[in-house]
Structure formats: C-alpha cells, structure tokens
Amino acid sequence: MYQKIKLYLQEDEFINPWPDLTQFVISIINEKPKHILIPGLIAAAYGGEVEGQLMANVVLTLLFSAIVSVDSILDGDEDGPMQGYSCGELANLSLGLAGWAVQTLRRLARETWVNVEGYAVLSRILYQVSFGQALDSSNPETEEDYWQLAMMKSGAFFSGAFTLGGLVGGASAADLTRLSALGQYYGVMLQIHDDLRDALETPANPDWVNGRYTLPILYAHLVDHPERARFDSIRMRVDDGCLLEEAQIILVRSGALSYGLYQIQELSQQVKFELEGLSPVDDGEIRRMFNELVQPVENMLEAVVG
C-alpha cells in the first residue's frame, strides 16, 4: 500500500509545478508510518472500493505530513525527512500539503453528503490538532491539562482517520459516530502507550531532560508518594545513567506505570463497547490495531516489575 500511495502522488498532475513537495511527502512515506493506512483499513472493513481505500489513505498521508512538518518546527526536530529544511520552508510545505489533501478529497467524494462531511472531517483534524500542538507547547502541568492535550492532539487526528475510512466505506451515520469515538480512544491510548515506552528508554528520552510532563512523569511529580521529592530532584538530571535508573524505579514504585496501564485498560473497555455496537463488519483489522497497543504495554510492565 505504501508503494501505491507513492505512485498516486507521483502521478498527480495537480502538484506538477512543485515536485519538491512530492519528494518531501515520499520521504515521510518511506519511513512507513502505519497511521496513514487506517482510513483504508476501516473502509475495507465496510467493503469499500479499493480505489477509494487508496485515495482515503492518500488524503490522510498528506494531512499527516503537514502535521509532522509543523510538529518538527515546534520541537526543533532536524532529523529524518526534516533535515535540510528551514522553519520557513517547513511551514510553507505544511500549507501546500493541507491544500493538496483538500484537492484529493474533492476527487474522492462520490456523493454530496460524503463530500460535505469529508471536508468537515479535514477541518476538524487541522483545527483540533493545531490546538493540541499549542497545548503541548505549553507543557501541561495538571492531569486535566494532559487529558485535554491527548484528546486534541492524538485523539482528534485518529478520530478523523477512522471517520474518513467509514465515510469511504459507506458506514451508517450511527457507525460514523462510533468510529469517531473509536479513533479518539485509539489516539489517547497511543499517547499513553508512547509515554510509557519513552519513560523506560535507555539512554533517557528527551522528554526527561526537556522537562516534559508525560503521563508517568506527571503522575510521579503530582501524586503524594514517599519518593516524590527525590523524584523531582533527579528527573531532569537523568543524563546520568544511575539517576535515570533510579527515576525509572521510582516510576514503578510510585504506581505511575501501573496508572498508565490502568488508563489503557479502562479505555479498552470503552473500545469493546463501541465495537460491539457497530453494524456487522469485518472488524478483525480494527481489533488488531487496538490489541497492538494493549499487549506491548502489559509485556513492558511485566518485564520492569519482574
């Protein structure tokens, strides 16, 4: 599918005057981000046409690339596909990618209601993810702020991805509502999953030394536990391997990692409810996506605690 997406973009006459934009997107596709395939997987579950699955993936690929471009500016990331681009160039590429996504959606739409709802999905993704990026830049310091960030940034993107796939597959209005919720849950679960994984990385993930409040770090910082003061005194000095190990042990003993797993398990129950409410569809791939988030976290915590 990645190759099909690249071929579609390379052959799109809409972008002929700007070949550098195509090369930028292809450099991101070459890293094979699995998220860009979600609309096609959802559409396939509903028996959507193969061409529609491809074009839905193309739309999300362009949006994902636009968001990654802006994210790299905010994070100061100069690696991978972003290497060699100035902030101004990346900002301009992001605008071009968003416009290209809208143009692709115009071709994709088959019925008026799909057309209108499709544009609504795109606008929600762009607005809410941008808002989420703004919240992320302010580094939320309360759990309430963290959940708002997770829902706006990751949650909104995947809510749109699931909904777009449902539109292309011909899902009912009731199913579209459930798919939107499923995407929201998926995005939040993915955020927690990444936070837990990053907290246990060796050497220290940049979130530690940059003072970022991911869920486990925020938990150990806010919750009253015997090692709270010690944790706060060392959490930004984890470039020292011994202090990193100590901080990670505190995450385990304080219950920070268990709390993250608990949140994923709670969300998985909501996912089960929404899946059971869908019309009869081939939902095997959808269930697999969620299982891929839950099982690794359980394995990771078993390894750490053991």
Is the confidence at residue 304, as pLDDT, over 80?
Answer: no
Pick from 51-55, 126-130, 136-140, 160-164: least confident: 136-140
- Tens digits of residue pLDDT in 152-194: 999 999 999 999 999 999 999 999 999 999 999 999 999 999 9
Q: Are residues 176 and 161 in the same domain?
A: no
**What pLDDT band is residue 148 in, cutting at 50, 70 and 90?**
very high
pLDDT of residue 54: 95
- Give the pLDDT of residue 300: 64
The verdict on 17 and 48 lying in the same domain is yes
Do 71 and 219 share a domain, yes or no? no
> Do 46 and 161 sit in the same domain of this protein?
yes
Please check whether residues 192 and 76 belong to one and the same domain.
Answer: no
CATH value at residue 36: 1.10.600.10
**pLDDT beyond 80 at 79:** no
CA distance 199 to 134: 22
Domain tally for the chain?
A: 2
Domain housing 276: 172-306
Euclidean distance between CA atoms 146 and 140, whole angstroms: 6
Mean pLDDT of 270-278: 95
Q: Are residues 289 and 163 in the same domain?
A: no
**Whether residue 301 has pLDDT greater than 70:** no
Tens of pLDDT, residue by residue over 16-62, are 889 899 999 999 999 999 999 999 999 999 999 999 999 999 999 99
> Does the pTM exceed 0.85?
yes
Separation CA 256–CA 231 (nearest Å): 12
- Verify that 296 and 182 share a domain, yes or no: yes
252 with 164, same domain? no
Give residues with Cβ within 8 angstroms of 15, minimum separation 6.
9, 21, 22, 100
- Say whether pLDDT at 78 is over 70: no
